[in-house]
Structure 1
Amino acid sequence: MSQDQSSAPPAPSVPAAPEGPKAPAATGRGSGSRAQARTAVVWRVLREALDRRAKEGRSPRGPVLDVLDTGGGTGNFAVPIAALGHRVTVVDPSPDALFGLQRRAAEAGVAERVRGVQGDVHGLFEVVERGGYDVVLCHGVLEYVDDPADGVRNAVAALRPAGLLSLLAAGAGGAVLSRALAGHFTAARRALASPEGSWGGSDPMPRRFTPEQLSGLLTAEGLEISAVHGVRIFSDLVAGGLAEQEPGALDALLELEEAAAESPAFHAIAGQLHLLATRG
């Protein structure tokens, strides 16, 4: 399942070519888009991690990183990463998503740095090299796979020694809170009691995670977790229109999201959880 098929909103457009330290427009600040505010925290953290990795020069390509995006869909993260000058391979089961990826990469002027292959995380090494990547993205994937532990295991096995894994998954606590605030108390109670964080057959998300569950999946594979961030802590809870009622409100919402993202007190109620971890 690609990120485009999950509940994660689309990332914003990117410049046609990398421009040194200038980031693509995925920061969300000043963009006027509530959807961009929802993705801005992840992009900021990931961009900083990529910059550090590139400066360390551990990649065989020097400052150019080999990045694998499992379930990367139409390139919401892959294309901005390619715009920074890195080489990105996207694995996704959907031919339509991969076609959209090619079109988006071409429009951004980074087609030569983006490769799309059809497959999924369980059959990952049927289509990509084991141990061949400096960075692996596993965003919006674990919610849909039959065996999350196996999915993480394959993502880790795709990393080079000391490689970086970026994991983004739906948060169980955020779903409980959003259902309750919307007045769907039975659904909230079901999601709270469910080991999968799901409220039943009408729930479009098969599985959600607690921070402890995601951390456990990573440490079980010998990864060292360097950062945990709560994502969409407030954005999914603000009533439609409130964030657009006055100038600067969206930027203020983004600043609030960024301020709360690193606080463990808010991780349990985040709509999504983002973890960075390094392979030993």
Structure 2
Amino acid sequence: MVWEVLERALRGRAAALGDAAVLDVLDTGGGTGNFAVPVARLGHRVTVVDPSPNALFALERRAAEAGVADRVNGVQGDILGLFEVVERGGYDAVLCHGVLEYVDDPAEGLRNAVEALRPAGALSLLAAGLGGAVLARALAGHFTEARHALTDPAGRWGEGDPVPRRFTVELLTELVEKAGAEVGAVHGVRVFSDLVPGVLVDTQPGALDALLKLEAAAAEQPSFHSVASQLHVLGEKRA
């Protein structure tokens, strides 16, 4: 679902600049290229900034195998020091997927992501949702942990929680707007997938396809955003 939304946004941005426009795309924390390589396959130039040299090595190999090595550039760095390694205001689209959960200052990180955009550039933001974690812990019978996540300022269910921070829709959209971007759309990601036993999907014919269609139908419904495992916000930098 995230890829479909992102692809539409890139096509829209390219059409606004001219149908044959090649976009400059920045993928912060892009790791091994799960999104960067497909974006490059669309014909765009992609810069991936990631703190892990191992991830960047895997990105280079993956881009080469996909035949897009000439359009993918990996740079070691992080979002808080973004302009030490990339140009401010130099990109038509910025991806910030799975980053804000792990940085010390999410507001500063998001400001950097938006400042890397050209006017009217597209922001794709994906972050962990609080409600999905609370619901998952409760359904697993961990009621104390669920309550802890619900009341914890960072949305963590305990010391063993591998995710340092989670967000509500309200908090995430507020961060986007304060960073200088307009919120265009919000989608709930993995509303049901993390709750459905894998055996049901694996053993019932057509179950996976039906689940994916259900996820797509629920993604744009605001009533399901509060229980999604992840939240996707599509924004646009103010001119």
Q: TM-score range by the shorter chain?
A: over 0.9
Task: Give the number of equivalent residue pairs.
Answer: 238
In 1: Cα distance, 2:198 partner to 2:220 partner: 25
Residue 57 of structure 1: how far off its partner (Å): 1.4
Instruction: Determine the structure 2 residue equivalent to 1:55.
Output: 15
Instruction: Determine the structure 2 residue equivalent to 1:234.
Output: 192
Cα deviations across residues 140-180 of structure 1 (Å, max 9, x unaligned)? 00000000000001001100011111000000000000001
Q: Counterpart of 1:88 in 2: which secondary structure?
A: strand
Instruction: Determine the structure 2 residue equivalent to 1:86.
Output: 44
Instruction: Determine the structure 2 residue equivalent to 1:125.
Output: 83
Residue 222 of structure 1: how far off its partner (Å): 2.6
Cα deviations across residues 101-158 of structure 1 (Å, max 9, x unaligned)? 0011011111000000000000000000000000000000000000000000100110
Q: How does 1:65-214 map to 2 (within 5 A)?
A: 65-214=23-172
Residue 221 of structure 1: how far off its partner (Å): 2.0
Deviating 4+ runs (over 6 angstroms): none
Q: CA RMSD for the aligned pairs?
A: 1.0
In 1: Cα distance, 2:106 partner to 2:130 partner: 15
In 1: Cα distance, 2:117 partner to 2:7 partner: 18
In 2: Cα distance, 1:82 partner to 1:221 partner: 27
Residue 186 of structure 1: how far off its partner (Å): 1.1
In 1: Cα distance, 2:55 partner to 2:78 partner: 13
Residue 49 of structure 1: how far off its partner (Å): 0.8
Structure 1 length normalisation: TM-score?
Answer: 0.84
Q: Counterpart of 2:7 in 1: which secondary structure?
A: helix
Q: Counterpart of 2:121 in 1: which secondary structure?
A: strand
Give me the identity figure in percent. Answer: 71
Instruction: Determine the structure 2 residue equivalent to 1:43.
Output: 3
Match of 1:261 among 219, 224, 237: 219
Cα deviations across residues 219-269 of structure 1 (Å, max 9, x unaligned)? 112311110000000000001211111221111000000000000000000
Answer yes or no: is the 8 Å Cα contact 2:111–2:180 preserved in 1: no
Residue 190 of structure 1: how far off its partner (Å): 0.5
Cα deviations across residues 21-70 of structure 1 (Å, max 9, x unaligned)? xxxxxxxxxxxxxxxxxxxx1011111111111111169xx521100000
Residue 183 of structure 2 corresponds to residue 225 of structure 1: yes
In 2: Cα distance, 1:221 partner to 1:94 partner: 26
In 1: Cα distance, 2:114 partner to 2:158 partner: 31
Answer yes or no: is the 8 Å Cα contact 2:30–2:48 preserved in 1: yes
In 2: Cα distance, 1:54 partner to 1:252 partner: 32
In 1: Cα distance, 2:6 partner to 2:164 partner: 26
In 1: Cα distance, 2:69 partner to 2:151 partner: 46
In 1: Cα distance, 2:192 partner to 2:158 partner: 24
Gap runs ≥5 in structure 2: none
In 2: Cα distance, 1:168 partner to 1:139 partner: 4
Instruction: Determine the structure 2 residue equivalent to 1:31.
Output: none
In 2: Cα distance, 1:201 partner to 1:58 partner: 50
Structure 1, 176-185 or 48-57: larger mean CA deviation: 48-57
Gap runs ≥5 in structure 1: 1-40
Q: Counterpart of 1:123 in 2: which secondary structure?
A: helix
Q: Counterpart of 1:122 in 2: which secondary structure?
A: helix
Answer yes or no: is the 8 Å Cα contact 2:114–2:180 preserved in 1: no
Q: Counterpart of 1:208 in 2: which secondary structure?
A: coil
